[in-house]
A and B are shown apart, each in its own frame.
Chain A
Amino acid sequence: MNFKHKYVFLFPGLFVLIGILIFPIIFTIRLSLSGWNSYTPEMNFIGITNYIRLFTDDPRFWESFFRLSFLSVSTVILQYIIGFALALMVWREIKFKRFFRVIFLIPMMTTPVIMTVIWRTFFHESLGPVNDLLGHVGIGPILWLSDPVIAKFTVIIVEVWQWTPFMFLLLLAGLLSLPKEPFLAAAIDGASSFRKFVYVTFPLMAPISIGAIIIRLIEASKIMDTVFVLTSGGPGTATETSSFYIYIKGLREFQMGYAATLSFTYLVIMIISLTIIAKVLTKLMIKE
Protein backbone atom coordinates (compact mmCIF):
# COMPACT_ATOMS: atom_id res chain seq x y z
CA MET A 1 0.00 0.00 0.00
CA ASN A 2 1.01 3.55 -0.53
CA PHE A 3 3.39 4.83 2.08
CA LYS A 4 1.91 8.23 2.85
CA HIS A 5 -1.72 7.29 3.35
CA LYS A 6 -1.09 5.59 6.64
CA TYR A 7 -0.24 8.88 8.31
CA VAL A 8 -3.55 10.37 7.21
CA PHE A 9 -5.29 7.63 9.20
CA LEU A 10 -3.12 7.74 12.29
CA PHE A 11 -2.21 11.36 12.82
CA PRO A 12 -5.57 13.05 13.49
CA GLY A 13 -6.25 10.86 16.52
CA LEU A 14 -2.67 10.76 17.71
CA PHE A 15 -2.14 14.49 17.51
CA VAL A 16 -5.47 15.38 19.05
CA LEU A 17 -4.65 13.16 22.01
CA ILE A 18 -1.09 14.45 22.35
CA GLY A 19 -2.30 18.00 21.82
CA ILE A 20 -4.80 17.77 24.62
CA LEU A 21 -2.45 15.96 26.99
CA ILE A 22 0.92 17.58 26.44
CA PHE A 23 0.05 20.82 28.15
CA PRO A 24 -1.44 19.30 31.33
CA ILE A 25 1.53 17.01 31.82
CA ILE A 26 4.26 19.57 31.29
CA PHE A 27 2.26 22.03 33.32
CA THR A 28 1.89 19.57 36.20
CA ILE A 29 5.62 18.95 36.30
CA ARG A 30 6.39 22.67 36.22
CA LEU A 31 3.68 23.42 38.79
CA SER A 32 5.07 20.77 41.11
CA LEU A 33 8.27 22.80 41.35
CA SER A 34 6.41 25.93 42.40
CA GLY A 35 4.86 27.11 45.62
CA TRP A 36 1.54 28.10 44.04
CA ASN A 37 -1.07 28.42 46.77
CA SER A 38 -3.89 30.77 47.67
CA TYR A 39 -1.49 33.32 49.19
CA THR A 40 0.99 33.38 46.32
CA PRO A 41 -0.92 32.24 43.23
CA GLU A 42 2.05 32.49 40.89
CA MET A 43 4.46 30.23 39.11
CA ASN A 44 7.57 30.85 41.20
CA PHE A 45 10.38 28.33 41.37
CA ILE A 46 11.13 26.64 44.67
CA GLY A 47 13.04 23.63 43.38
CA ILE A 48 12.27 20.28 44.89
CA THR A 49 11.00 21.65 48.21
CA ASN A 50 7.59 20.11 47.55
CA TYR A 51 9.08 16.71 46.84
CA ILE A 52 11.14 16.86 50.03
CA ARG A 53 7.96 17.68 51.94
CA LEU A 54 6.14 14.77 50.33
CA PHE A 55 8.81 12.20 51.07
CA THR A 56 9.74 13.32 54.58
CA ASP A 57 6.75 15.04 56.07
CA ASP A 58 3.47 13.77 54.67
CA PRO A 59 2.37 10.46 56.17
CA ARG A 60 -1.23 11.27 55.21
CA PHE A 61 -0.45 10.86 51.51
CA TRP A 62 1.26 7.51 51.99
CA GLU A 63 -1.55 6.30 54.23
CA SER A 64 -4.08 7.30 51.59
CA PHE A 65 -1.99 5.47 49.01
CA PHE A 66 -1.89 2.22 50.99
CA ARG A 67 -5.60 2.54 51.66
CA LEU A 68 -6.15 2.90 47.93
CA SER A 69 -4.02 -0.17 47.26
CA PHE A 70 -5.98 -2.16 49.80
CA LEU A 71 -9.34 -1.01 48.44
CA SER A 72 -8.53 -1.51 44.78
CA VAL A 73 -6.78 -4.87 45.15
CA SER A 74 -9.48 -6.32 47.40
CA THR A 75 -12.34 -5.08 45.22
CA VAL A 76 -10.70 -6.42 42.06
CA ILE A 77 -10.08 -9.84 43.65
CA LEU A 78 -13.70 -10.03 44.76
CA GLN A 79 -14.91 -8.84 41.37
CA TYR A 80 -12.79 -11.43 39.63
CA ILE A 81 -14.00 -14.34 41.77
CA ILE A 82 -17.65 -13.34 41.63
CA GLY A 83 -17.50 -12.22 38.00
CA PHE A 84 -15.88 -15.49 36.93
CA ALA A 85 -18.38 -17.54 38.93
CA LEU A 86 -21.31 -15.68 37.39
CA ALA A 87 -19.86 -15.93 33.91
CA LEU A 88 -19.41 -19.70 34.28
CA MET A 89 -22.97 -20.05 35.53
CA VAL A 90 -24.62 -18.31 32.59
CA TRP A 91 -22.10 -19.51 30.03
CA ARG A 92 -23.89 -22.74 29.19
CA GLU A 93 -27.60 -23.38 29.01
CA ILE A 94 -29.53 -22.45 32.11
CA LYS A 95 -33.08 -21.26 32.56
CA PHE A 96 -33.63 -17.57 31.79
CA LYS A 97 -30.01 -17.31 30.61
CA ARG A 98 -30.47 -14.07 28.72
CA PHE A 99 -32.51 -12.50 31.50
CA PHE A 100 -29.76 -13.14 34.04
CA ARG A 101 -27.08 -11.92 31.67
CA VAL A 102 -28.88 -8.60 31.29
CA ILE A 103 -29.42 -8.29 35.04
CA PHE A 104 -25.76 -9.02 35.75
CA LEU A 105 -24.72 -6.32 33.30
CA ILE A 106 -26.94 -3.53 34.54
CA PRO A 107 -24.85 -2.01 37.36
CA MET A 108 -21.96 -1.07 35.07
CA MET A 109 -24.35 0.98 32.96
CA THR A 110 -25.35 3.14 35.89
CA THR A 111 -23.50 6.26 36.93
CA PRO A 112 -21.37 5.42 39.99
CA VAL A 113 -21.94 8.70 41.83
CA ILE A 114 -25.65 8.59 41.29
CA MET A 115 -25.95 5.02 42.49
CA THR A 116 -23.76 5.92 45.44
CA VAL A 117 -26.26 8.58 46.38
CA ILE A 118 -28.84 5.79 46.52
CA TRP A 119 -26.46 3.54 48.45
CA ARG A 120 -26.01 6.31 50.99
CA THR A 121 -29.72 6.28 51.75
CA PHE A 122 -29.64 2.47 51.60
CA PHE A 123 -26.95 2.25 54.27
CA HIS A 124 -28.31 5.18 56.27
CA GLU A 125 -27.79 4.19 59.87
CA SER A 126 -31.23 4.99 61.23
CA LEU A 127 -33.49 5.45 58.18
CA GLY A 128 -31.97 2.96 55.76
CA PRO A 129 -33.45 -0.44 54.92
CA VAL A 130 -30.32 -2.45 55.68
CA ASN A 131 -30.18 -1.62 59.36
CA ASP A 132 -33.95 -1.82 59.60
CA LEU A 133 -34.07 -5.35 58.20
CA LEU A 134 -31.09 -6.45 60.26
CA GLY A 135 -32.86 -4.98 63.28
CA HIS A 136 -35.82 -7.29 62.68
CA VAL A 137 -33.57 -10.33 62.98
CA GLY A 138 -31.95 -8.89 66.07
CA ILE A 139 -28.67 -7.59 64.70
CA GLY A 140 -28.02 -4.21 66.25
CA PRO A 141 -27.53 -1.12 64.12
CA ILE A 142 -24.30 -1.39 62.17
CA LEU A 143 -22.44 1.89 61.66
CA TRP A 144 -22.05 1.46 57.90
CA LEU A 145 -20.73 4.93 57.26
CA SER A 146 -19.40 6.25 60.54
CA ASP A 147 -17.23 3.40 61.77
CA PRO A 148 -13.69 3.70 60.36
CA VAL A 149 -13.35 -0.03 59.67
CA ILE A 150 -16.87 -0.80 58.49
CA ALA A 151 -16.90 2.26 56.22
CA LYS A 152 -14.08 0.66 54.20
CA PHE A 153 -16.19 -2.45 53.70
CA THR A 154 -19.17 -0.34 52.68
CA VAL A 155 -17.01 1.24 49.99
CA ILE A 156 -15.92 -2.25 48.90
CA ILE A 157 -19.54 -3.47 48.74
CA VAL A 158 -20.55 -0.54 46.56
CA GLU A 159 -17.52 -0.92 44.29
CA VAL A 160 -18.14 -4.64 43.91
CA TRP A 161 -21.78 -4.00 43.04
CA GLN A 162 -20.81 -1.37 40.52
CA TRP A 163 -17.96 -3.05 38.69
CA THR A 164 -18.34 -6.83 38.96
CA PRO A 165 -20.49 -6.59 35.78
CA PHE A 166 -17.54 -5.27 33.82
CA MET A 167 -15.40 -8.21 34.93
CA PHE A 168 -18.35 -10.50 34.19
CA LEU A 169 -18.71 -9.05 30.70
CA LEU A 170 -15.04 -9.41 29.81
CA LEU A 171 -14.85 -12.96 31.19
CA LEU A 172 -18.11 -14.10 29.60
CA ALA A 173 -17.04 -12.67 26.25
CA GLY A 174 -13.82 -14.64 26.73
CA LEU A 175 -15.59 -17.86 27.64
CA LEU A 176 -17.85 -17.58 24.60
CA SER A 177 -14.85 -17.21 22.31
CA LEU A 178 -13.04 -20.33 23.59
CA PRO A 179 -12.47 -23.14 21.10
CA LYS A 180 -14.72 -26.20 21.51
CA GLU A 181 -12.15 -29.01 20.97
CA PRO A 182 -10.44 -29.05 24.39
CA PHE A 183 -13.83 -29.40 26.09
CA LEU A 184 -14.81 -32.27 23.81
CA ALA A 185 -11.52 -34.00 24.56
CA ALA A 186 -12.06 -33.57 28.29
CA ALA A 187 -15.61 -34.90 27.99
CA ILE A 188 -14.38 -37.97 26.14
CA ASP A 189 -11.83 -38.57 28.90
CA GLY A 190 -14.74 -38.41 31.35
CA ALA A 191 -13.36 -35.52 33.36
CA SER A 192 -15.57 -34.16 36.16
CA SER A 193 -16.80 -30.55 35.98
CA PHE A 194 -14.28 -29.57 38.62
CA ARG A 195 -11.33 -31.13 36.80
CA LYS A 196 -12.57 -29.66 33.53
CA PHE A 197 -12.45 -26.23 35.11
CA VAL A 198 -8.99 -26.67 36.65
CA TYR A 199 -7.31 -28.28 33.64
CA VAL A 200 -9.18 -26.85 30.68
CA THR A 201 -11.26 -23.74 31.32
CA PHE A 202 -8.98 -21.94 33.70
CA PRO A 203 -5.75 -22.31 31.71
CA LEU A 204 -7.55 -21.31 28.50
CA MET A 205 -8.96 -18.29 30.26
CA ALA A 206 -5.64 -17.21 31.79
CA PRO A 207 -4.71 -14.59 29.19
CA ILE A 208 -8.23 -13.16 29.19
CA SER A 209 -8.25 -13.16 32.99
CA ILE A 210 -5.01 -11.23 33.14
CA GLY A 211 -6.31 -8.68 30.68
CA ALA A 212 -9.54 -8.27 32.61
CA ILE A 213 -7.78 -7.99 35.98
CA ILE A 214 -5.36 -5.39 34.70
CA ILE A 215 -8.11 -3.33 33.08
CA ARG A 216 -10.10 -3.44 36.30
CA LEU A 217 -7.06 -2.58 38.41
CA ILE A 218 -6.40 0.44 36.25
CA GLU A 219 -9.98 1.60 36.65
CA ALA A 220 -10.14 0.69 40.35
CA SER A 221 -6.99 2.64 41.09
CA LYS A 222 -9.02 5.72 40.28
CA ILE A 223 -11.64 5.09 43.02
CA MET A 224 -12.88 8.54 43.83
CA ASP A 225 -16.53 9.06 42.93
CA THR A 226 -17.81 6.45 45.35
CA VAL A 227 -15.71 7.67 48.23
CA PHE A 228 -16.54 11.27 47.50
CA VAL A 229 -20.27 10.78 47.82
CA LEU A 230 -20.48 7.87 50.23
CA THR A 231 -18.16 8.98 53.00
CA SER A 232 -16.28 12.10 51.78
CA GLY A 233 -13.14 10.26 52.85
CA GLY A 234 -14.45 9.94 56.37
CA PRO A 235 -14.94 9.21 59.12
CA GLY A 236 -11.76 11.19 59.71
CA THR A 237 -9.50 9.94 56.94
CA ALA A 238 -10.64 6.32 57.16
CA THR A 239 -11.66 5.99 53.51
CA GLU A 240 -9.55 8.73 51.99
CA THR A 241 -7.80 7.58 48.81
CA SER A 242 -4.90 9.26 47.05
CA SER A 243 -7.09 11.00 44.48
CA PHE A 244 -9.31 12.36 47.18
CA TYR A 245 -6.38 13.63 49.21
CA ILE A 246 -4.92 15.36 46.14
CA TYR A 247 -8.33 16.87 45.50
CA ILE A 248 -8.45 18.28 49.05
CA LYS A 249 -4.94 19.72 48.81
CA GLY A 250 -5.40 21.17 45.35
CA LEU A 251 -8.95 22.28 44.91
CA ARG A 252 -10.08 22.83 48.49
CA GLU A 253 -6.95 24.22 50.16
CA PHE A 254 -5.63 25.58 46.85
CA GLN A 255 -2.09 24.37 47.44
CA MET A 256 -1.81 23.89 43.68
CA GLY A 257 1.98 23.50 43.66
CA TYR A 258 1.99 20.82 46.29
CA ALA A 259 -1.03 19.09 44.77
CA ALA A 260 0.83 18.94 41.46
CA THR A 261 3.75 17.30 43.26
CA LEU A 262 1.37 14.74 44.71
CA SER A 263 -0.28 14.20 41.32
CA PHE A 264 2.96 13.65 39.50
CA THR A 265 4.36 11.29 42.14
CA TYR A 266 1.07 9.42 42.20
CA LEU A 267 1.06 9.06 38.42
CA VAL A 268 4.62 7.73 38.39
CA ILE A 269 3.87 5.25 41.18
CA MET A 270 0.71 4.14 39.37
CA ILE A 271 2.51 3.50 36.08
CA ILE A 272 5.37 1.61 37.76
CA SER A 273 3.20 -0.51 40.04
CA LEU A 274 0.67 -1.39 37.33
CA THR A 275 3.47 -2.44 34.99
CA ILE A 276 4.98 -4.64 37.71
CA ILE A 277 1.60 -6.15 38.56
CA ALA A 278 0.97 -6.90 34.89
CA LYS A 279 4.35 -8.65 34.58
CA VAL A 280 3.94 -10.65 37.78
CA LEU A 281 0.40 -11.74 36.92
CA THR A 282 1.47 -12.87 33.49
CA LYS A 283 4.26 -14.97 35.05
CA LEU A 284 2.01 -16.45 37.73
CA MET A 285 -0.96 -17.39 35.59
CA ILE A 286 0.69 -18.56 32.40
CA LYS A 287 3.06 -21.28 33.51
CA GLU A 288 2.76 -23.73 30.71
Chain B
Amino acid sequence: MEKLYKFLKYTFIILWTVFIVAPFLWAVSTSFKDFQSVNSKVTYIPWLDFEPTLEGWRVLVKSPARGGVDIVEPYFNSIFVTCTASLISIILGTLAAYALSRFTFKAGFVRNNDITFFFISQRIMPPIVLSIPFFIFLSTIGLLDSLLGLVVVYIVLLMPIAVWIMVDFFNRVPKELDETALIDGCNPYQAFYKVVLPNSIPGLIVAGMFCIIFGWIDFFFAFILTFTEVQLLPVKVVALNSSITPWWSLSASALISVAPLIIVAFVVERYLSKGNLSGALK
Protein backbone atom coordinates (compact mmCIF):
# COMPACT_ATOMS: atom_id res chain seq x y z
CA MET B 1 0.00 0.00 0.00
CA GLU B 2 2.67 2.42 1.10
CA LYS B 3 4.80 1.38 -1.88
CA LEU B 4 1.97 1.92 -4.34
CA TYR B 5 1.37 5.36 -2.89
CA LYS B 6 5.02 6.23 -3.25
CA PHE B 7 5.05 5.00 -6.82
CA LEU B 8 1.97 7.05 -7.73
CA LYS B 9 3.42 10.09 -6.03
CA TYR B 10 6.67 10.05 -7.96
CA THR B 11 4.87 9.26 -11.22
CA PHE B 12 2.64 12.26 -10.73
CA ILE B 13 5.53 14.56 -9.80
CA ILE B 14 7.55 13.48 -12.80
CA LEU B 15 4.63 13.77 -15.23
CA TRP B 16 3.85 17.24 -13.96
CA THR B 17 7.50 18.26 -14.24
CA VAL B 18 7.52 17.06 -17.85
CA PHE B 19 4.34 19.03 -18.52
CA ILE B 20 5.90 22.18 -17.05
CA VAL B 21 9.19 21.83 -18.84
CA ALA B 22 7.83 20.70 -22.22
CA PRO B 23 6.98 24.12 -23.72
CA PHE B 24 10.38 25.48 -22.66
CA LEU B 25 12.24 22.59 -24.27
CA TRP B 26 10.18 23.00 -27.41
CA ALA B 27 10.93 26.73 -27.47
CA VAL B 28 14.66 26.18 -26.96
CA SER B 29 14.74 23.68 -29.78
CA THR B 30 12.64 25.86 -32.09
CA SER B 31 14.78 28.93 -31.49
CA PHE B 32 17.70 27.23 -33.27
CA LYS B 33 15.70 26.15 -36.31
CA ASP B 34 15.38 27.73 -39.72
CA PHE B 35 12.52 27.87 -42.19
CA GLN B 36 13.23 24.43 -43.56
CA SER B 37 13.32 22.59 -40.25
CA VAL B 38 10.13 24.24 -39.00
CA ASN B 39 8.00 23.80 -42.05
CA SER B 40 8.97 20.45 -43.58
CA LYS B 41 8.18 18.16 -40.66
CA VAL B 42 8.22 18.33 -36.89
CA THR B 43 11.80 18.21 -35.63
CA TYR B 44 13.07 18.02 -32.05
CA ILE B 45 16.75 17.43 -31.46
CA PRO B 46 19.42 19.67 -32.98
CA TRP B 47 22.11 17.98 -35.14
CA LEU B 48 20.09 14.77 -35.10
CA ASP B 49 16.85 16.08 -36.57
CA PHE B 50 18.00 19.39 -38.01
CA GLU B 51 21.02 21.61 -38.49
CA PRO B 52 20.87 24.31 -35.77
CA THR B 53 21.39 27.97 -36.69
CA LEU B 54 21.70 31.10 -34.57
CA GLU B 55 19.56 33.18 -36.92
CA GLY B 56 16.56 33.34 -34.55
CA TRP B 57 18.75 34.86 -31.84
CA ARG B 58 20.73 37.17 -34.10
CA VAL B 59 17.59 38.84 -35.42
CA LEU B 60 16.71 40.03 -31.92
CA VAL B 61 19.49 42.58 -31.69
CA LYS B 62 19.39 43.80 -35.28
CA SER B 63 17.57 47.04 -36.01
CA PRO B 64 14.25 46.74 -37.87
CA ALA B 65 15.78 48.58 -40.83
CA ARG B 66 18.10 45.65 -41.41
CA GLY B 67 15.37 43.06 -41.13
CA GLY B 68 15.75 42.54 -37.41
CA VAL B 69 13.28 42.64 -34.57
CA ASP B 70 15.12 44.77 -32.02
CA ILE B 71 13.73 43.76 -28.66
CA VAL B 72 16.42 45.65 -26.76
CA GLU B 73 14.43 48.85 -26.41
CA PRO B 74 11.15 47.14 -25.41
CA TYR B 75 13.20 45.16 -22.91
CA PHE B 76 14.41 48.29 -21.17
CA ASN B 77 10.96 49.88 -21.40
CA SER B 78 9.48 46.87 -19.64
CA ILE B 79 12.14 46.93 -16.95
CA PHE B 80 11.64 50.65 -16.40
CA VAL B 81 7.84 50.53 -16.19
CA THR B 82 7.78 47.44 -13.98
CA CYS B 83 10.41 48.70 -11.56
CA THR B 84 9.08 52.25 -11.29
CA ALA B 85 5.48 51.16 -10.78
CA SER B 86 6.54 48.47 -8.30
CA LEU B 87 8.66 50.90 -6.33
CA ILE B 88 5.90 53.52 -6.08
CA SER B 89 3.33 50.85 -5.21
CA ILE B 90 5.55 49.36 -2.53
CA ILE B 91 6.27 52.71 -0.92
CA LEU B 92 2.67 53.92 -0.91
CA GLY B 93 1.29 50.45 -0.18
CA THR B 94 3.66 49.84 2.73
CA LEU B 95 2.83 53.18 4.34
CA ALA B 96 -0.89 52.53 3.96
CA ALA B 97 -0.52 48.97 5.22
CA TYR B 98 1.37 50.19 8.27
CA ALA B 99 -1.38 52.69 9.03
CA LEU B 100 -4.06 50.03 8.59
CA SER B 101 -2.22 47.59 10.80
CA ARG B 102 -1.32 49.96 13.66
CA PHE B 103 -3.97 52.65 13.93
CA THR B 104 -7.75 52.59 14.11
CA PHE B 105 -9.67 54.44 11.47
CA LYS B 106 -13.29 55.34 11.77
CA ALA B 107 -15.31 57.33 9.28
CA GLY B 108 -19.03 56.69 9.35
CA PHE B 109 -19.47 52.96 8.92
CA VAL B 110 -16.00 52.57 7.39
CA ARG B 111 -13.50 50.68 9.55
CA ASN B 112 -9.93 49.47 8.97
CA ASN B 113 -11.08 46.23 7.37
CA ASP B 114 -13.24 48.11 4.89
CA ILE B 115 -10.33 50.28 3.82
CA THR B 116 -8.09 47.23 3.47
CA PHE B 117 -10.80 45.53 1.45
CA PHE B 118 -11.11 48.61 -0.75
CA PHE B 119 -7.42 48.40 -1.59
CA ILE B 120 -7.41 44.68 -2.26
CA SER B 121 -10.71 44.65 -4.13
CA GLN B 122 -9.15 46.66 -6.92
CA ARG B 123 -7.80 43.35 -8.18
CA ILE B 124 -11.38 42.37 -9.05
CA MET B 125 -11.52 45.14 -11.61
CA PRO B 126 -11.26 43.50 -15.04
CA PRO B 127 -8.57 45.27 -17.09
CA ILE B 128 -10.97 45.79 -19.96
CA VAL B 129 -13.28 47.89 -17.75
CA LEU B 130 -10.46 50.30 -17.00
CA SER B 131 -8.84 50.25 -20.39
CA ILE B 132 -11.49 52.19 -22.30
CA PRO B 133 -11.70 55.14 -19.89
CA PHE B 134 -7.91 55.09 -19.45
CA PHE B 135 -7.54 55.18 -23.20
CA ILE B 136 -9.64 58.36 -23.40
CA PHE B 137 -8.25 59.80 -20.16
CA LEU B 138 -4.61 59.37 -21.15
CA SER B 139 -5.19 60.73 -24.63
CA THR B 140 -6.80 63.87 -23.14
CA ILE B 141 -3.79 64.59 -20.93
CA GLY B 142 -1.36 63.53 -23.66
CA LEU B 143 0.05 60.50 -21.89
CA LEU B 144 -1.20 57.90 -24.34
CA ASP B 145 1.66 55.91 -25.80
CA SER B 146 4.09 57.01 -23.09
CA LEU B 147 5.98 55.26 -20.31
CA LEU B 148 4.57 57.60 -17.66
CA GLY B 149 1.00 56.75 -18.61
CA LEU B 150 1.72 53.06 -18.20
CA VAL B 151 3.36 53.60 -14.82
CA VAL B 152 0.20 55.37 -13.61
CA VAL B 153 -1.98 52.49 -14.74
CA TYR B 154 0.33 49.84 -13.30
CA ILE B 155 0.16 51.46 -9.88
CA VAL B 156 -3.52 50.48 -9.81
CA LEU B 157 -2.57 46.91 -10.66
CA LEU B 158 0.24 46.63 -8.14
CA MET B 159 -0.65 48.66 -5.08
CA PRO B 160 -3.42 46.24 -4.00
CA ILE B 161 -0.86 43.43 -3.97
CA ALA B 162 1.56 45.45 -1.87
CA VAL B 163 -1.16 46.38 0.62
CA TRP B 164 -2.49 42.81 0.78
CA ILE B 165 0.91 41.31 1.64
CA MET B 166 2.15 44.10 3.90
CA VAL B 167 -0.98 44.40 6.07
CA ASP B 168 -0.71 40.71 6.94
CA PHE B 169 2.98 41.09 7.50
CA PHE B 170 2.76 44.11 9.80
CA ASN B 171 0.01 42.40 11.76
CA ARG B 172 2.58 39.83 12.78
CA VAL B 173 5.36 42.30 13.61
CA PRO B 174 4.88 42.75 17.38
CA LYS B 175 3.41 46.09 18.37
CA GLU B 176 5.81 46.30 21.32
CA LEU B 177 8.55 46.99 18.82
CA ASP B 178 7.22 50.40 17.80
CA GLU B 179 5.99 51.12 21.33
CA THR B 180 9.48 50.67 22.73
CA ALA B 181 10.85 52.93 20.02
CA LEU B 182 8.28 55.60 20.88
CA ILE B 183 9.13 55.41 24.56
CA ASP B 184 12.80 55.76 23.63
CA GLY B 185 11.93 59.13 22.15
CA CYS B 186 11.37 58.40 18.48
CA ASN B 187 8.53 60.13 16.72
CA PRO B 188 6.12 57.81 14.82
CA TYR B 189 8.00 58.30 11.55
CA GLN B 190 11.35 57.43 13.09
CA ALA B 191 9.78 54.43 14.80
CA PHE B 192 8.49 53.25 11.46
CA TYR B 193 11.61 54.00 9.49
CA LYS B 194 14.28 52.93 11.98
CA VAL B 195 12.62 50.08 13.82
CA VAL B 196 9.66 48.58 11.99
CA LEU B 197 10.97 48.77 8.45
CA PRO B 198 14.29 47.00 9.10
CA ASN B 199 12.28 44.20 10.72
CA SER B 200 10.03 43.91 7.69
CA ILE B 201 12.60 43.14 5.02
CA PRO B 202 11.23 39.64 4.24
CA GLY B 203 7.72 41.03 3.80
CA LEU B 204 9.02 43.83 1.61
CA ILE B 205 10.94 41.38 -0.55
CA VAL B 206 7.90 39.15 -1.01
CA ALA B 207 5.68 42.13 -1.80
CA GLY B 208 8.32 43.46 -4.19
CA MET B 209 8.60 40.15 -5.98
CA PHE B 210 4.87 39.89 -6.43
CA CYS B 211 4.65 43.44 -7.74
CA ILE B 212 7.44 42.75 -10.19
CA ILE B 213 5.84 39.51 -11.35
CA PHE B 214 2.42 41.03 -11.90
CA GLY B 215 3.85 44.13 -13.52
CA TRP B 216 6.17 42.23 -15.80
CA ILE B 217 3.54 39.78 -17.02
CA ASP B 218 0.87 42.34 -17.85
CA PHE B 219 0.04 42.49 -21.50
CA PHE B 220 -3.38 44.00 -21.87
CA PHE B 221 -2.79 47.58 -20.71
CA ALA B 222 0.48 47.81 -22.58
CA PHE B 223 -1.31 46.51 -25.65
CA ILE B 224 -4.16 49.02 -25.51
CA LEU B 225 -2.38 52.10 -24.23
CA THR B 226 0.76 52.09 -26.36
CA PHE B 227 1.29 51.92 -30.12
CA THR B 228 4.55 52.91 -31.71
CA GLU B 229 6.48 55.36 -29.54
CA VAL B 230 6.73 53.02 -26.61
CA GLN B 231 6.54 49.27 -26.79
CA LEU B 232 6.72 46.84 -23.94
CA LEU B 233 8.19 43.40 -24.28
CA PRO B 234 5.00 41.26 -24.31
CA VAL B 235 3.42 43.47 -26.94
CA LYS B 236 6.49 43.26 -29.09
CA VAL B 237 6.65 39.47 -28.88
CA VAL B 238 2.95 39.06 -29.60
CA ALA B 239 3.28 41.39 -32.57
CA LEU B 240 5.79 38.91 -34.01
CA ASN B 241 3.11 36.28 -33.76
CA SER B 242 0.77 38.06 -36.13
CA SER B 243 2.83 38.28 -39.30
CA ILE B 244 4.17 35.23 -41.10
CA THR B 245 5.30 33.91 -37.73
CA PRO B 246 9.02 33.27 -37.82
CA TRP B 247 8.88 30.58 -35.14
CA TRP B 248 12.61 30.66 -34.45
CA SER B 249 12.87 34.34 -33.53
CA LEU B 250 9.50 34.11 -31.79
CA SER B 251 10.83 31.35 -29.56
CA ALA B 252 14.13 33.10 -28.96
CA SER B 253 12.44 36.37 -27.97
CA ALA B 254 9.93 34.52 -25.79
CA LEU B 255 12.70 32.70 -23.95
CA ILE B 256 14.69 35.82 -23.36
CA SER B 257 11.59 37.64 -22.11
CA VAL B 258 10.66 35.07 -19.51
CA ALA B 259 14.22 34.36 -18.41
CA PRO B 260 14.73 37.15 -15.81
CA LEU B 261 11.74 36.22 -13.70
CA ILE B 262 12.65 32.57 -13.53
CA ILE B 263 15.35 33.70 -11.12
CA VAL B 264 12.50 34.96 -8.95
CA ALA B 265 11.26 31.36 -8.64
CA PHE B 266 14.52 30.50 -6.88
CA VAL B 267 14.21 33.44 -4.50
CA VAL B 268 10.58 32.57 -3.70
CA GLU B 269 11.57 28.97 -3.01
CA ARG B 270 14.33 30.10 -0.68
CA TYR B 271 11.94 32.22 1.35
CA LEU B 272 9.41 29.40 1.33
CA SER B 273 11.92 26.93 2.73
CA LYS B 274 13.07 29.36 5.38
CA GLY B 275 9.48 29.81 6.47
CA ASN B 276 9.35 33.52 5.84
CA LEU B 277 6.73 33.23 3.13
CA SER B 278 4.28 31.25 5.18
CA GLY B 279 3.71 34.37 7.18
CA ALA B 280 3.66 36.76 4.30
CA LEU B 281 1.04 34.85 2.31
CA LYS B 282 -2.09 34.05 4.22
Contact = CB atoms under 8 A, between A and B. Distances in A.
Interface string B126-146: 111111111111000000000
Nearest to B247: A121
A113 B44 CA distance: 23
A42 B205 CA distance: 46
A171 B23 CA distance: 25
Interface in A249-280: 250-251, 256, 259-260, 263-264, 266-267, 270-271, 274
Contact of A1 (B182, B233, B234): B182
Nearest to A15: B92
**Residue of A14, A218, A228 most packed against chain B (CB within 10 A):** A14
Contact of A251 (B42, B115, B132, B163): B132
B251 interface: yes
Contacts of B254: 114-115, 117-118
Nearest to A194: B5
A170 B159 CA distance: 19
Contact of B5 (A111, A117, A193, A271): A193
A20 interface: yes
Interface stretch (A46-54, A101-109, A142-150): A101-109
B99 A6 contact: yes
Interface in B186-213: 187-189, 192, 213
A27 B137 contact: yes
A10 B102 contact: no
Contact of B98 (A9, A128, A173, A221): A9
Contacts of A221: 124, 126
Given A5-B188, A16-B159, A109 B265 contact: yes
Given A5-B189, A176-B278, A98 B273 contact: yes
A56 interface: no
Given A12-B96, A263-B129, A113 B237 contact: yes
A69 B105 CA distance: 37
**Residue of A121, A211, A218, A243 most packed against chain B (CB within 10 A):** A121
A180 to B, nearest CB: 13
Contacts of B262: 106, 109-110
B281 A243 contact: no
Contact of A264 (B129, B135, B265): B129
B17 A103 contact: yes
A118 B265 contact: no
B155 interface: yes
B100 interface: yes
A212 B37 CA distance: 44
B277 interface: yes
Interface in A184-232: 193, 208, 211, 218-219, 221-222, 224-225, 228-229
Q: Which 7 pairs of residues, A with B, have the shortest CB-CB distance?
A: A13-B96, A177-B278, A9-B99, A24-B133, A6-B103, A13-B92, A132-B42
Interface of A: 1-2, 5-10, 12-14, 16-17, 20-21, 23-25, 27-28, 31, 82, 85-86, 89-90, 94, 98, 100-115, 117-122, 127-129, 132, 161, 169-170, 172-174, 176-177, 193, 208, 211, 218-219, 221-222, 224-225, 228-229, 242-243, 246-247, 250-251, 256, 259-260, 263-264, 266-267, 270-271, 274
Interface of B: 5, 9, 12-13, 16-17, 19-23, 26-27, 30, 38-39, 41-42, 44, 92-93, 95-96, 98-100, 102-103, 105, 115, 119, 121-137, 152-153, 155-156, 159, 163, 182, 187-189, 192, 213, 216-217, 219-220, 224, 233-234, 237-238, 240-241, 245, 247, 250-251, 254, 257-258, 261-262, 264-266, 268-269, 272-273, 275, 277-282
6 contacts: A9-B95, A20-B152, A111-B258, A114-B238, A242-B126, A264-B129
